[in-house]
Amino acid sequence: MLKNSFLTLLLTISFTVQTTEYVYPVSVLDHNTILLIQQKMVDNIVLWIWNNKTNTLKSGLLSRFNPANLCLLPDKSGFSFIDNGLLKVKLFYKRSPKTVPLDEPLYDIAMVQWIDNYYCYTSAKNDNYFGIFQLSIKGDVDCIVKIPFADCLYPQKIDDLLFYIERKKNNYRIMSISYPNIPQNNNFDEITDFDMKVEKIIERQTKKEIENRVINKQLILDFKRQPIAFLHMISDNEGFVLEYDSYIDEKDDTILFSYLHLTKSGDSWHYNQLFSFSIPTLLLLTNSPTRLYESILPLLPRHINNTIYYVDSLQQKYLNIFCYDLNHNKIEQKTFSGKKGKSYFAPFLVDGELIFGGSV
């Protein structure tokens, strides 16, 4: 069942529409609680916590923050987000978030993936190129993979394997490596014994040398000069990736994407296109007054059981929701907005209902 969350929110949130606004879910806390982003303007983002059953709303963050790339902690005691290039963690019982004080200069930090409540991994820039790093909530930075004159992007950890996209000289490949065993429990401040503290610091310095190790990379698939992004692995032998054109004309009404299914058979990997979809260009251009603050993130295909929900403009200026049935290879349209400029975003499953948002 589809439930239009942002229309319900209009009964609760009072504001005057001066430009295009968006309200959409970004995470599900439990059967009744949903985290929502309200984009009032391009640089004015508000996080709300909405109870779907009681239709009550409360603020999730102080208004001075502009949260992006929100990710729940594994135990759902809080969440991380990126604000003005800084990684922050907000616990629900705390009033304010804490900035993670990284011990190495990283920038352009992408969405983090939490291993547990203390450690996560992400791609970020260091020395002008993207590498993949493990971070701790205390700010420890450990390089997982970094390649000279290449970008390592969209990491996906499956057990002891790390999958990622390698981009070098506009060539794109999906690679995998073994995820290193990085020593943890580095609470030096809590160690009172001097010799033990020295031992831990030496261990930590040894750990830092991990970035100089020989990386045994395995090529999964070579896309050559065909751009790909947003790798999503669901097991060590199956995943999905987004494909798009190498040249995007800002004058075009829409941008075309294709969603590819990656599968492993024996020792070989293969892929096939499941469907394609178009996104209005003005939602993604950095100089557009109607662009999304989080760019394409709210519009990415979302997996729910054996169904992939996605949005498509069908060469028009509004988005509707479609679903692709993986079992039967069928596409079904779920919403039918015909209003120019009206956009629906990819849904979440909440207590048996599909909750979605979009433009106001």
pTM of the model: 0.87
Q: What is the pLDDT of residue 351?
A: 83
Q: What is the pLDDT of residue 63?
A: 87
Q: Evaluate if residue 184 carries a pLDDT over 80.
A: no
From CA 136, how far away is CA 98, in angstroms rounded?
Answer: 13
Please tell me the least confidently modeled range out of 54-58, 130-134, 183-187. Answer: 183-187
Q: What percent of the chain has pLDDT over 90?
A: 67
Q: What is the pLDDT of residue 16?
A: 40
Q: Evaluate if residue 60 carries a pLDDT over 70.
A: yes
pLDDT digits (tens, 9 = 90+) for 274-288: 999 999 998 999 889
Q: What is the pLDDT of residue 249?
A: 85
Take residue 200 and report the two structure tokens written for it: 């831990």
What is the average pLDDT across 50-55? 89
Q: Which residues of 224-263 are buried (b: 16+ CB within 10 A; e: fewer)?
A: eeebbbbbbbeeeeebbbbbbeeeeeeeeebbebbbbbbe
Q: What is the pLDDT of residue 14?
A: 39
Backbone φ and ψ of 22, nearest 5°: -135, 145
What is the average pLDDT across 153-158? 98
pLDDT digits (tens, 9 = 90+) for 69-124: 999 999 999 999 999 999 999 999 998 999 999 988 899 999 999 999 999 999 99
From CA 203, how far away is CA 143, in angstroms rounded?
Answer: 15
Q: Evaluate if residue 204 carries a pLDDT over 80.
A: no
Contacts of 194 (CB under 8 A, 6+ apart): none
Q: Which helix (H) or strand (E) holds 8?
A: helix 5-9
Give the DSSP per-residue string, 138-170.
Answer: T--EEEEE--TT-EEEEEEEETTEEEEEEEETT
Q: What is the pLDDT of residue 188?
A: 46
What is the average pLDDT across 209-227? 79
The pLDDT mean for the chain works out to 87
Take residue 82 and report the two structure tokens written for it: 């990126």
Q: What is the pLDDT of residue 126?
A: 87
pLDDT digits (tens, 9 = 90+) for 297-332: 999 999 998 999 999 997 566 899 999 999 999 999
Q: What is the pLDDT of residue 123?
A: 97
Q: How far is CA 37 from the centre of its chain?
A: 14
Q: Evaluate if residue 12 carries a pLDDT over 90.
A: no
